[in-house]
Structure 1
Amino acid sequence: MSDRLEPLVIRHTHRLPLPTGPAGQGDVAARQFDAVLMSAGFKLSADLLAHLSGLSEATVVDTAVRTLRTVREMVGDHVRHNVYFIDFPAHVPDTFDFWMRCIAEALADDKTHEGTLAQLQSGVVDLLTLPSYGTYRHTYAEMLAAHDELIAAAGDRLTVLHLGGTVEDEVRALYLALAGSRTPLGEDHLGDLGVLAGHCVDGPQPEAIPVRENRAVVNAARLAAGSGLLLDSVTDVLRLACAVSGGDVTLLEPTRFRTLPRPVRRALLAGLDALVAAAPAKLADVSAHREPWKRLGERLHPHEYPQWPYAAEVFAVARGEQQVRSFDSRVEELLGRDDVVGAAELLKSAPGRLLRSLDRLLRTAQAEDEREAMVAAAEQVVSQAAGRVVLSVREHLHNRAEETGERRVFVNRRGRAWVTDDSRPPIAPAQRKRLIAALDAEIRRRLPAPERLLVDPDVLDVALPLSGRATAAGLGVLPRGSVTPVAGELLRFFVYWKQAEQRTDFDLSAVLLDARYRTVSWLSYTSLTQFEGEHSGDITDAPDGASEFINLRLGAVRSAFILPQVNIFAGEGFEEVEESFFGFMLREGEQKGRPFEPATVRMKSELRGPGRVALPLVFRRGRDGSWTAKWLHLYLKGAPSANQVEGNRITVETLLRGIVQRDHINVRYVTGLMAERGTTVTVWDGESIPEGAVTYIGLERPDGLHPDSRVFTPENLRDLIPD
């Protein structure tokens, strides 16, 4: 069990479950373990180092092997990062000179001479037909020999691993935290929840599982174990069927339902029957997903189970044989009659929907008294809506332009982004301010009021994760909209991918834009060198994995923005390859080392999303010359093939303007409301550890913090979102 579950605990909490074994003299091995960890950018806390020192050497070594394997994968050091140009970033050639050299080598090769000559005569040369282009010309070992050892610098990342409780205690706590999350989890976290739920199915359960997708994953584990299902709506059953079939529990993508064993069919139909028998109005939810219900009915065969007649009604509604009016249809009927006040009165029975519909209701209302009624209705129900909804609406109203003519950015739940004109009329300033005041008051009321709050200044502009889908899995990854400082002289991007079945070519690029979001220049396989930096060279095939890098000297960058992007030129998509991830490193000016040095990695993010162009984050230079990063986690549709930075320039420029100018609900907002409630807020100086327990919010838990302190870091920042 330890080998399977311990890595989950380390990844999610940066805590090492309590190592156990015979007592002994493990101090030497523990110090060696700590030293090796530091080369990967991690370090043992003082408590963990002391605990390991009292165990036998064999126990410490065994613990070190397991832990190193996990942390190296966390940072992206579990694969070999080779480069096309062996001594990158030194001696990267001019792009045109490099291409001419590849052509000359192809002409000198008897096998490719004739074909290359014919291409030259036609005026167009396909780089992929040149033998020396796109594949590694040296081994990984030869590349390592060409680089000096990394000399540690004060700015290198050190992620502290803390001493945890027993494996059982840590696993149980992590399960309860993920299952009871108030915000949707990302795909990777949902997978981890499934593993934990299977292990914890017979143990304590969270008081509530508010997120439907989380409930589906937990129910799948309970179904497999023969435990009772946790069902609240008929859609819970549909999501569970998707989970059992290995499909999408979010219901965004169609699921191909498998042939289900009889015990599973009986459990699903019995659950449906009980739900509808207790509350026939729940049938109204069926119409939102008619097609999936009809396909599921073909697998469940409800006609074979006459003992559950209420379950059969679900499929009769899906087929249109039984009519049930949905809540949304009743709202739309009222709006169709221009009865906006009536629609608002009906929506008051569903406070979350009313708040989400506020913008539309205010725009639909024709008279001032109707608009005032909308605001009054929101004020009446705001205390009954989920905290995540209240925060989301607050963020929306903050960013709602009071004038028309702006561009509007849409991002769906999977990170796909697009831009359109904003043709909405404005919301009256007085009503907008009144709504914001009501939302602020409600959030302030729900937030905890600790006596002492210690805050890392670097976390103040980190966005609250109102949805886990807005954050990719990885190390040092923050929610979409987060802004963090960037300190260092050299900024280096990297991408790694390994194809599954067909030749796949990912292209790492970096676009440099001015303050008006216009492209100034870029680094890519078509522009290997610029005054600001270098590209490591184009790799076009990755059967054993491939890496590309871009090196930038921040002091030399003349633009206002740096936007890294990953374009799929050919082959498999981000969700089809065996593995793919993006990240960035920061180094001091004189630091040498390999192209990839784990101790300098600040962020490593999985690339798993729709579309053919990935935009992980953007870097922005301030007026004082300092740099910050804003996290995007966006994907553009792109073209089926041949995506490159030159082709999506206009789309990226327009999209970036809308994203950069949008403000997100962040830690600064929350701590400000806590201060208004009387909490003493202290900005941490990065060194002084207070005596006694505190509530701490930061990018990492400081070593030496009182064990009774309540700690919020990016790994559990979702817990700051009130009920």
Structure 2
Amino acid sequence: MVRTTIIKKTLRVPTSDGAPGDGAAVARQLDAALIRSGFKAGRDLLEHVGALADAEEFAAEVVRAVKELIGARGQHNPYFKEFPHNVPDTLTFWWECVRDALEQGLEPTNNLLDLPKYGRVQHSYEEMLRAHDELIPSLKDRVTVVHLGGTLEEEVQRLFEELATSPIPLAENDRMLLGELAVLGDDGAFDVPVRENRAILNAARLVAQRPLKDIDTVTDVLRLAAEASGGDVTLEEPTRFRSFRRPERRALLGALNEVAESKLGDIGQHREAWKRLGERLHPHEHPFERAQDVFAVARREKVARSFAGQVEMAFVNNDVERAAEILSKAPGMLLRQVDRLLRNGAPNLAALVETAVPEVSSRVLISVLEHLSNRTTPDTARVFATRARRVWIADDERAPLDPAQVAAIVEVVENELVRRLPEYSELVVDDEVLDVVVPVSGTEEGFGVLPRGSKLWFDGDVLRFFVHWRQHVKRTDYDLSAVLLDENFQFQGHVSWTRLQQDGAFYSGDVTDASDGATEFIDVHRDAVNARYVVPQVNVYSGEGFDEVAESMFGFMSRDLDQMGKPFEPSTVRARSSMRGKGKVALPIMFEREGDTWFGTWLHLYLRGSAWGNRVEENRDIVKLIAAAALRRKYFTVTRVRDLFARKESTKDAPAIRIALARDESGSVTTVAELGKLLSD
């Protein structure tokens, strides 16, 4: 299981410790199987497999891992057997379902779900395959190389360190993986910059009764207790704390006792969580006075003025100079409050920022630059997204910032990032990554997934996207839909279970039960559809949410009309993303049609939706606003990183740097996911 996880996460295959022998035939079979899924074995991997006596199971595990990565393990069987061909008219299809029920002697009903033929696939997977010709390979099909790694122990440690030392907060799936690897890896010799990751590592130390590390705020202890209780280490969701053993209670209280008294002001942010944790830790049973003070502050028996409270008081009193003075003592908070300080006319702000930036993380600096680049012109609406990717929209009532003041701060921040860039002799940036956003937080688990706002382009006569889900306990109905918009983001129509086809877009049919997994597709023919923008969405109509089902994913493919093939062809999959958000409507990505090319812009957003019965007709207006805002927003992309490098003189004896989407066999590539470390001081 660990080996499979490493292959999916890194596309590196840990070496086998099997006996040497002749595995040449298995190596050839492995390469052929990978090619059918859009992958190819690197030369090092083929040589390793070819030298194993018993290579069959080793090779089979590699194939299983890459199939799981692109979502090819399940049987993707659409409702309409010949999809995308012979998709019926909507009303005609509904009448067929009614007539089928009448022929079976059933009473007429207004509920489609009561009709035996509706929502239940009427053919086997093998019958669907016989209705489709073989895929004709194309040079446009994706080929991704799988490389040989080190030993299993080395790859576990390597992945553990990559996750633990990430300069940006991890996505939920990676946090879970880090917690699993923390039990296996050696955590002694590297720096962990993100506090959530520190808490995850400390939770493993707590259980193993090893000394805790890197705790300097009370919130560090709260995160640790939440993680050790199986709760939310980000503290965004409430945690039900478990009962801690006496040595664990002593370790947690001892850590609290070492935190500086000036940090007690942070307690009010999570007051209720602290009171619940106090019930589990029994602080008065141990001689730790400052730890006891923590819970006294939580119960309001003692007062501790928070740093943020001092700042708010200064703003309430219209004393912006005092607010700036207080914030200057916390560089990260100062940078996060730059917009507010500018709006309130803070004097000499550029000078304060210049003093602060050396102490601020690169991800905060990048976030500030992206924010300021969108604040000199008014916007029609503000789109907010939480770390859980739930989205809401509000009117933008802020006055635009003064361009000259913004430019002064931007120059200071950019100069700091230029200083942090590594020495280089030559910089090569692949064209396909120029519009990729530099990540400042983790993204959904999957294959080919990029940060929100990233653009990718690809050719193909047909854009096909799909959703696959498998319910956990109760019957679950997800509905794949698409909103069609013109060049002015005006509604042009939609495709869903209520409209099976429109203007070159075709729906594969509604599947309403996913006990064994279910898949729905939508095809959009580039030269037939009239819309400029296509915005897919996945609606939870009934049953389990995205974070409750056993499995849930969205992906897309591209192919030419003459390629034929079955609905799901692994080698044509461009990306596959898990869906684990909290809302009831998922907006994974949006597409733009321009000439012979498709452009995709990743969204990774979830709307709250309704508890039941979500439909595209009910949320299309908010989708229009989100689509327009996503395309109009200016992002901090690799192009901007390239421009920053241009301001730093190259060094003859320094290494060359290449930025690309994926590693090559040379191993000298910096991927987009690694840019955070490249920009870190």
TM-score, normalized by the shorter chain, greater than 0.5? yes
Q: Deviations over 1:266-292 (max 9, x none)?
A: 2211211222xxx21121221111010
Match of 2:353 among 378, 398, 401: 378
**Is the 2:136–2:562 contact (alpha carbons within 8 Å) kept by the matching residues of 1?**
no
2:438–2:672 CA contact under 8 A, matched in 1: no
Indicate if the aligned counterparts of 1:17 and 1:170 stay in contact, CA closer than 8 A. Answer: yes
Pick aligned residue for 1:630 from 593, 601, 604 = 601
Query: What do residues 353-378 of structure 1 show as CA deviations (whole Å, max 9, x unaligned)?
Result: 0011011111123xxxxx33223211
Contact 2:209 2:247 in 1 (8 A): no
| Conserved? CA contact 2:363–2:676, under 8 Å | no
- Within a 5 Å distance, the mapping from 1:487-502 to structure 2 comes to 487-502=459-474
**Which SS does the other structure have where 1:338 is aligned?**
coil
Q: Quick one: structure 1 residues 24 and 611, their matched pair in 2 at CA, closer, same or farther if it must change by over 3 Å?
A: same
Contact 1:149–1:593 (CA under 8 A) maintained in structure 2: yes
- The answer to whether the 8 A contact 1:248-1:255 is kept is yes
Measured at CA, do residues 229 and 343 of structure 1 come closer, stay the same or move farther in structure 2, by a change above 3 Å? same
SS at match of 2:303: coil
Secondary structure of the residue aligned to 2:577 is strand
1:315 lines up with 2:295 in the alignment: yes
Q: Pick from 319, 328, 333 the counterpart of residue 339 of structure 1.
A: 319
In 2, Cα distance between the equivalents of 1:666 and 1:527?
Answer: 37
Whole-Å separation in 1 of the counterparts to 2:593 and 2:646: 30
Pairing 1:515-534 to 2, within 5 Å after superposition: 515-534=487-506
Contact 1:37-1:43 within 8 A present in 2 as well: yes
* Equivalent position to 1:178, from 152, 159, 163: 163
Q: Among residues 280, 304, 307, which one is paired with 1:299 in the alignment? A: 280
Partner of 1:216: 199
1:429 Cα deviation (Å)? Answer: 1.4
Supply the distance in 2 between the matched residues of 1:526 and 1:589 (Cα, whole angstroms). Answer: 26
Over 3 Å counting, the alpha-carbon distance change for 1:612 and 1:698 in structure 2 is same
Aligned residue number for residue 111 of structure 2: 126
Distance 1:498 1:70, change over 3 A: same
Q: CA deviation at 1:465?
A: 0.8
- Does the Cα contact within 8 Å between 1:536 and 1:550 map onto a contact in 2? yes
Match of 1:45 among 42, 45, 49: 42
1:721 equivalenced with 2:673 (yes/no): no
1:625 CA displacement: 4.8
State the alpha-carbon separation in 2 of the partners of residues 211 and 322 from structure 1. Answer: 30
Post-superposition shift, 1:9?
A: 2.1
> Is the aligned partner of 1:421 residue 2:410?
no
Give yes or no for contact 2:496–2:507 (8 Å, CA) kept in 1: yes
Q: Displacement, 1:380?
A: 2.2
Deviation at 1:392, TM superposition (A): 0.6
The partner residue of 2:481 within 501, 509, 512 is: 509
Match status 1:288 vs 2:269: yes
Q: Secondary structure at the match of 1:153?
A: coil
Deviation at 1:181, TM superposition (A): 0.8
| Map of 1:88 onto structure 2 | 83
State the match for 2:135 in structure 1. Answer: 150
For residue 440 of structure 2, what is the aligned residue in structure 1? 466
Shift of 1:701: 1.9
State the partner residue of 1:592. 564
Q: Which digits, 9 at most, give the CA deviation of each residue in 1:235-283, with x for residues without a partner?
A: 11101111111110000011111222222222211211222xxx21121
Measure how far apart 1:295 and its partner are: 0.6
Q: What is the CA deviation profile of residues 358-415 of structure 1, one whole-angstrom value per residue up to 9, with x for unaligned ones?
A: 11111123xxxxx33223211221222111111110110011133x463111111111
Counterpart of 2:173 in structure 1 is: 188
Shift of 1:26: 1.6
* Residue aligning to 1:434: 408
- The residue that corresponds to 1:653 in the other structure is 624
Structure 2 letter corresponding to 1:563: V
- Separation in structure 2 between the aligned mates of residue 533 and residue 334 of structure 1, nearest angstrom: 56
- The 5 A counterparts of 1:192-203 are 192-201=177-186
Over 3 Å counting, the alpha-carbon distance change for 1:529 and 1:502 in structure 2 is: same
Aligned Cα root-mean-square deviation (Å): 1.7
Listed as ranges, the matches of 1:15-164 within 5 Å are: 15-56=12-53, 58=54, 60-110=55-105, 112=106, 114=107, 116=108, 119=109, 125-164=110-149
CA distance in 2 between counterparts of 1:175 and 1:65 reads 25
Are the equivalent residues in 2 in contact too, given 1:532–1:556 (CA < 8 A)? yes
Aligned partners of 1:64 and 1:334: how far apart in 2? 65
CA contact (8 A) 1:176 1:205 kept: no
CA distance in 1, matches of 2:583, 2:2: 32
Q: Which residue of 2 aligns with 1:10?
A: 7
Partner of 1:259: 243
| Residues 499-535 of structure 1: CA deviation (Å, up to 9, x unaligned) | 1111111000111101111110211111112231211
Using the size of structure 2 for normalisation, the TM-score is: 0.97
Please show how residues 345-494 of structure 1 align to structure 2 within 5 Å: 345-365=325-345, 371-402=346-377, 404=378, 406-468=380-442, 471-494=443-466
Counterpart CA distance in 1 for 2:450 and 2:379 is: 31
Conservation of the 8 A alpha-carbon contact between 1:164 and 1:170: yes
SS in structure 2 at match of 1:313 = helix
One-letter amino acid of the structure 2 residue matched with residue 401 of structure 1: T
Give CA-to-partner distance per residue, 1:471-515, whole Å, 9 cap, x none. 211001001110111211111111011111111110001111011
Q: CA deviation at 1:463?
A: 0.5
CA displacement, residues 145-179 of structure 1 (integer Å, 9 cap, x when unaligned): 22222222111111101121222222212111111
Query: What is the one-letter code of the residue matched to 2:62?
Result: T
Q: Are 1:12 and 1:715, in contact at CA under 8 Å, matched by a contact in 2?
A: no
**1:680 Cα shift?**
9.2
**Aligned counterparts of 2:325 and 2:256: Cα–Cα separation in 1:** 30
Tell me which residue corresponds to 2:664. 702
| 8 Å contact kept, 1:181–1:210 | yes
Which is worse superposed, 631-640 or 5-14?
Answer: 5-14
Aligned to 2:212: 229
Residues in 1 aligned to 2:344 and 2:645: alpha-carbon distance in whole angstroms = 36
- Rounded to whole Å, the distance in 1 between the matches of 2:228 and 2:539 is 34
Residue 715 (structure 1) shift: 4.5
* 1:274 and 2:258 aligned: yes
| Counterpart-to-counterpart distance in 2, 1:357 and 1:700 | 36
1:630-675 CA-partner distances (Å, limit 9, x unpaired) = 1000001111111111110111111211111112111111112112
Amino acid across the alignment from 2:577:
S
Instruction: Give unpaired runs (5+ residues) of structure 2.
Output: none
Q: What corresponds to 1:673 in structure 2?
A: 644
Q: Is the 8 A contact 1:414 1:610 kept in 2?
A: yes
Cα distance in 2 for partners of 1:455, 1:430 equals 31
1:628 aligns to what SS in structure 2?
strand
Structure-1 separation of matches of 2:588 and 2:104: 41
Q: Does 1:607 align with 2:579?
A: yes
Aligned residue for 2:134, secondary structure, equals coil
Q: CA deviation at 1:104?
A: 0.9
Residue 348 of structure 2 aligns to a residue whose secondary structure is helix
Contact 1:341-1:374 at 8 Å conserved across structures = no
Structure 1, unaligned runs of 5 or more: 120-124, 366-370, 682-691
Amino acid at match of 2:225: A
Q: Which amino acid aligns with 1:511?
A: V
CA distance in 1, matches of 2:195, 2:577: 26
Q: Report if the CA contact (8 A) 2:479-2:496 is conserved.
A: yes
For residues 331 and 357 of structure 2, what CA distance do their matches in structure 1 show?
A: 7
Amino acid at match of 1:88: F
Is the Cα–Cα contact under 8 Å of residues 182 and 721 in structure 1 kept in the other structure? no
Q: Deviations over 1:411-453 (max 9, x none)?
A: 1111111111111122111101111111111111111131122
Give 1:38 deviation, angstroms.
1.0
